[in-house]
Amino acid sequence: MDEIRLFAESIIENVEKVIVGKRQSIELSVIGLLCQGHLLIEDVPGVGKTMLARSLAKSIGCEFKRIQFTPDMLPSDITGVSIFNQAVQDFEYRPGPIMAQVVLADEINRATPKTQSALLEAMQEKQVTVDGITHKLPEPFMVFATQNPIEYEGTFRLPEAQLDRFLLRIKLGYPETENEIDILDRQQYGHPLIELSSIVTAAEIQNAQQAIQSVHIAPKVKRYIVEIASRTRQHPEVYLGASPRGSLALYRASQALAALHGRDYVLPDDIKALAIPALSHRIILGPGARLKNLTADDIVSAVIGEMLVPGGDPKAK
């Protein structure tokens, strides 16, 4: 797995030329890429959510498109439309912005549920259907969706079915003082994104995506994943716990994290490191949790803290 580690490290270091002091968030983005998953970035404005998506797209040499979601947006504004061409006396498909390899759905919760649902088929099936005709999306395909967790006026909460489609939820947070000074220095004469170059090809990405699937997960570790998800469903403060899709997301993400560290097997520590990003956005809290000011992150942390970590040989059959 050293090849995967070096491959991922080269992408991370390239993105760090633009995103300063947020290595963990960049690693999670690369994990999402390797797992062929989609990412939900939830944070306040101005911390680099858009720049993270653009930097990753440029580093991997993929076509990038941004969709600014608004309340008056229609599903066809995303998927594209069929227009009658008088020259050929037939309808032809005009692709929408979803027809890209890396798509940024900016402020996704500002669009109506009808428009949000236009992403469901694209995210799950990697295709869009317009006027009964299916159009395949380019590969690799990845969605970065952003939302502001502070300002909720004029927004529409993402439905659980769509939240469940996101492999991981990422929070960037404000930079440390020294990192923020570094950002000022780097942008004194121009934005570093302009000079950022592509360092890998689409074929290399697809090979890496296939390679991580061979990372071994011992039966005890698989049971550990399932028990974490199961306990979120049984927690007294939870109305709806993590779904089996959440277990699968944690399974796939842990394979990618192990590969990033040069291992061909998953450790329980990989599961613990990814449990909150992979599961917390899938959990719906009960009324009691809100009264106690508990968050989904708190629930997942409590579940992990109560469980025994599986031991033994990580490669045991």
Name the E strands within the chain. 39-42, 64-68, 80-85, 90-95, 102-106, 127-130, 133-136, 142-147, 168-170, 238-240, 284-285
Q: Count Cβ atoms within 10 A of the Cβ of residue 156 and give its class: 0-12 exposed, 13-18 middle, 19 or more buried.
A: middle
Map residue 143 onto helix, strand or coil.
strand
Range of lowest pLDDT (143-157, 164-178, 222-236, 249-263): 143-157
pTM of structure:
0.90
Residue 157, pLDDT score: 83
Residue 113, pLDDT score: 86
Please give the structure tokens belonging to residue 278: 């992979």
Q: Count Cβ atoms within 10 A of the Cβ of residue 85 and give its class: 0-12 exposed, 13-18 middle, 19 or more buried.
A: exposed
Residue 273, pLDDT score: 95
Q: Count Cβ atoms within 10 A of the Cβ of residue 149 and give its class: 0-12 exposed, 13-18 middle, 19 or more buried.
A: exposed
**Residues in CB range of 202: below 8 A, 6 or more apart:** 60, 61, 62, 101, 139, 140
Average pLDDT over residues 233-255: 94
Q: What are phi and psi of 29, to 5 degrees?
A: -65, -40
**Residue 161: pLDDT band with limits 50, 70, 90:** confident
Residue 317, pLDDT score: 45
Give the pLDDT confidence of 125-150 residue by residue, as tens digits.
Answer: 899 988 888 999 998 999 999 988 77
Give the pLDDT confidence of 33-92 residue by residue, as tens digits.
Answer: 999 999 999 988 889 999 999 999 999 999 999 999 999 999 999 999 988 888 888 888
